[in-house]
């Protein structure tokens, strides 16, 4: 095992009211593949930001690079130390070519000298050759498949003397086959001396690729272990701890169909979607990022009009011109990105709760009755037990779970019949997660019809009697969660053999441009 290349000692980090890292001790050794694992909101992303110098740690924390204490890790310092992060969104320039993307950082640091196109192409070709990947350097990144873009992002990192490659959830939108390719390249890079930090919440993949595994929960490091000494079940136990108690306890749903979707299609986003949602039912939609799940949800919410097909509420076809029509019809949508789409962070909780129902809060002269607004907000705060919330505090001061409750309160004030929740527990700590689940069940118990969209197996399995599996814009399976075990469910929703299902549409599969020999995992170093 190599030298310690990065070491954190007693690192703490507070964001507003959130204690994101608690007394973290962590080390990354030269030439290892180190996986960081934990649920959403456990502090994984904060760790990445600390190591890459995006955020400052609290006073009293100690950070070492190559054994030397670093007073303050700045982004430039991390860059010079060879830290390269590949975020989930890849941060590529879609309208530039592959070669330009790969060589981008090289020709930003060379002052005024002109751009040398042959040099750029050569650099790109060299890096791709080292990775043993063949992607046309002249093609535009926006034309590539997600998997190929991932490889371009890696190539871009390698083009500038990377020593530590950090990958944040690199497999979240890849099929199994593409994951295999990625892993073989990662192993290859390790052979060449690179240190790799791999962040994920997929256990099977972690077990497959990691040498050492660090488990995080609620901002703490639970343990760092050698891969050989654990199995999936034990990891799962460490990740969830005892804080969350999953159990299948579905409220009885009625027979009445509330919402029906018939043959809904929209461009390359999704196709031929049909399902029925009953009164008091929690219907699960499980699918990866890019499967069309969010596009479908926003269509039902009136923000993304379909090309064909119908959305029928209580037997009447809806003609939704905007989400105002959907809200008036009784449809509410808790969006995927809470911080951007769900909340106005700088404004107070009260405004965030009442924004959608301001017209109902008018008093004399059409002026807003602030007493009513306040009462309504107070009522929701106690109803949903939003801890430490007051109507006048900015939403940004609340923790993730409580923020999500504020978004839910906003929608509950509109008295919806159908509530769509898109990844509702993204970035929410474990304890808050189960209160969100309890809330969802309680609402369904009162007769509200709920669509729960997620890519987390337990979230769907334990909350939804019925789940639809969405892949490449289609519903490819309907699973009765009561009839299968969790591991069967997990296998059913894995995309290994059927990954070709939606081959007629969607982003180009890009097989022709994919890395040449997917199987060459153990190549010799050059």
Partner 1 sequence: MKEKTGKNILSGSEDLMLIVLIVGCVIFFTAMKPSFFSPGNFSSIARQIPEIGLFTLAMMIPMMVGGIDLSVIASANLGSILMTMYMNSHIEKGGENVPAVIVSILICAAVCIFVGFLNGLIVAVFRIPAMLVTLGMQMVTTGIALGITRGGTLSGYPESFTGIGNNAFLGIPNQFILFVIAAAALLVIMQKTSFGIKLRMYGSNAVATKFSGIDDISLLIRTHMLSGVYVAIAAVVMTSRLTSASAGAGANYLMRAILIAVLGGVDPNGGKGRVWGIIWALILFQCLATGLNLLRVNSYIVIALYGVILLLSVFVRTRRAA
Positions touching partner 1 (CB under 8 A) are 16-17, 303, 322-324, 326-327, 333, 335, 340-347, 351-352, 354-356, 358-359, 361-362, 366-368, 370, 388, 390, 392-394, 396-397, 410, 414
Closer Cβ to partner 1, 280 or 335, answer by number: 335
Q: Which of 296, 298, 284, 281 has its CA nearest to residue 335?
A: 298
Neighbour-count burial for 279-312, b at 16+ CB within 10 Å, e otherwise = bbbbbbbbbbbbbbbbbbbbbbbbbbebeebebe
Any idea what the Cα angle at residue 58 is, between residues 53 and 60, rounded to 5°?
110
Q: Say which residues have a Cβ less than 8 Å from residue 83's Cβ, sequence separation at least 6.
A: 6, 51, 52, 53, 162, 163, 164, 166
Q: Say which residues have a Cβ less than 8 Å from residue 407's Cβ, sequence separation at least 6.
A: 334, 335, 338, 342, 343, 352
What's the min distance (Å) between Cβ of 400 and partner 1?
15
Q: Say which residues have a Cβ less than 8 Å from residue 241's Cβ, sequence separation at least 6.
A: 217, 218, 222, 430
What's the min distance (Å) between Cβ of 322 and partner 1?
7
What's the min distance (Å) between Cβ of 366 and partner 1?
7
Nearest 5°: phi and psi at 191? -55, -30
Closer Cβ to partner 1, 326 or 432, answer by number: 326
Q: How is residue 509 annotated by DSSP? A: -
Residue at token pair 């040498």: 211
Distance CA 146, CA 142 (A): 9
- Alpha-carbon Rg for the chain in angstroms: 24
Cross-strand pairs, 173 = none
Closer Cβ to partner 1, 12 or 240, answer by number: 12
What's the min distance (Å) between Cβ of 363 and partner 1?
9
What's the min distance (Å) between Cβ of 123 and partner 1?
36
Distance CA 211, CA 224 (A): 11
What's the min distance (Å) between Cβ of 169 and partner 1?
23
What's the min distance (Å) between Cβ of 350 and partner 1?
9
What's the min distance (Å) between Cβ of 75 and partner 1?
16
Closer Cβ to partner 1, 80 or 319, answer by number: 319
User: Going by DSSP bridges, is the β-strand pair 83-86/62-65 parallel, antiparallel, or unpaired?
Assistant: unpaired
Q: 3-class SS at 272?
A: strand
What's the min distance (Å) between Cβ of 273 and partner 1?
21
Closer Cβ to partner 1, 112 or 340, answer by number: 340
What's the min distance (Å) between Cβ of 380 and partner 1?
15
Q: Say which residues have a Cβ less than 8 Å from residue 436's Cβ, sequence separation at least 6.
A: 401, 404, 405, 408, 424, 425, 428
Q: 3-class SS at 362?
A: strand
Distance CA 389, CA 406 (A): 9
Closer Cβ to partner 1, 272 or 392, answer by number: 392
């Amino acid at each position: 095992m190599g030298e310690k290349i990065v070491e954190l000692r007693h690192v703490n980090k507070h964001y507003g009211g959130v204690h994101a890292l608690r007394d973290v001790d962590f080390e990354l050794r030269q030439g290892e593949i180190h996986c960081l694992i934990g649920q959403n909101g456990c502090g994984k992303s904060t760790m990445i930001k600390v190591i890459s110098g995006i955020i400052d740690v609290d006073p009293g924390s100690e950070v070492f690079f190559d054994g030397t204490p670093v007073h303050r890790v700045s982004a430039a310092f991390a860059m010079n130390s060879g830290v390269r992060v590949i975020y989930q969104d890849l941060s590529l320039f879609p309208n530039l070519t592959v070669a330009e993307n790969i060589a981008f950082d090289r020709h930003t640091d060379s002052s005024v000298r002109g751009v040398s196109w042959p040099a750029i192409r050569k650099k790109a070709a060299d890096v791709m050759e080292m990775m043993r990947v063949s992607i046309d350097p002249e093609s535009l990144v926006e034309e590539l498949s997600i998997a190929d873009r991932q490889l371009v992002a890696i190539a871009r990192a390698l083009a500038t003397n990377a020593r530590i490659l950090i990958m944040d959830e690199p497999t979240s939108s890849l099929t199994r086959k593409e994951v295999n390719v990625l892993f073989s390249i990662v192993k290859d890079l390790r052979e060449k001396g690179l240190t790799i930090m791999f962040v994920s919440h997929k256990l099977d993949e972690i077990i497959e690729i990691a040498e050492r595994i660090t488990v995080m929960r609620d901002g703490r490091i639970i343990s760092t272990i050698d891969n050989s000494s654990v199995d999936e079940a034990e990891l799962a136990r460490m990740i969830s701890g005892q804080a969350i108690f999953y159990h299948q306890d579905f409220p009885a749903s009625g027979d009445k169909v509330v919402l029906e979707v018939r043959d809904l299609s929209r461009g390359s986003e999704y196709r031929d979607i049909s399902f029925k949602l009953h009164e008091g039912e929690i219907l699960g939609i499980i699918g990866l990022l890019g499967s069309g799940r969010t596009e479908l949800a926003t269509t039902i919410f009136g923000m993304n009009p379909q090309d064909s097909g119908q959305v029928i509420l209580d037997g009447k076809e809806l003609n939704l011109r905007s989400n105002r029509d959907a809200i008036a019809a009784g449809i509410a949508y808790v969006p995927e990105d809470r911080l951007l789409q769900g909340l106005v962070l700088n404004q107070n909780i009260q405004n965030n709760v009442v924004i959608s129902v301001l017209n109902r809060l008018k008093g004399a002269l059409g002026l807003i009755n602030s007493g009513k607004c306040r009462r309504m907000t107070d009522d929701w705060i106690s109803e949903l037990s939003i801890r430490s919330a007051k109507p006048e505090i900015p939403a940004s001061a609340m923790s993730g779970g409580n923020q999500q409750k504020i978004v839910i309160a906003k929608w509950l004030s509109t008295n919806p019949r159908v509530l769509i929740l898109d990844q509702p527990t993204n970035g929410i700590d474990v304890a808050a997660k189960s209160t969100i689940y309890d809330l969802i069940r309680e609402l369904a118990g009162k007769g509200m019809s709920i669509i729960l969209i997620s890519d987390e197996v337990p979230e769907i399995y334990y909350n939804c009697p019925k789940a639809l599996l969405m892949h490449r814009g289609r519903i490819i399976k309907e699973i009765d969660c009561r009839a299968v075990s969790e591991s069967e469910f997990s296998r059913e929703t894995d995309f290994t053999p059927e990954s070709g299902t939606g081959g007629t549409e969607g982003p180009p599969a890009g097989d022709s441009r994919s890395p040449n020999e997917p199987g060459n995992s153990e190549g010799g170093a050059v």
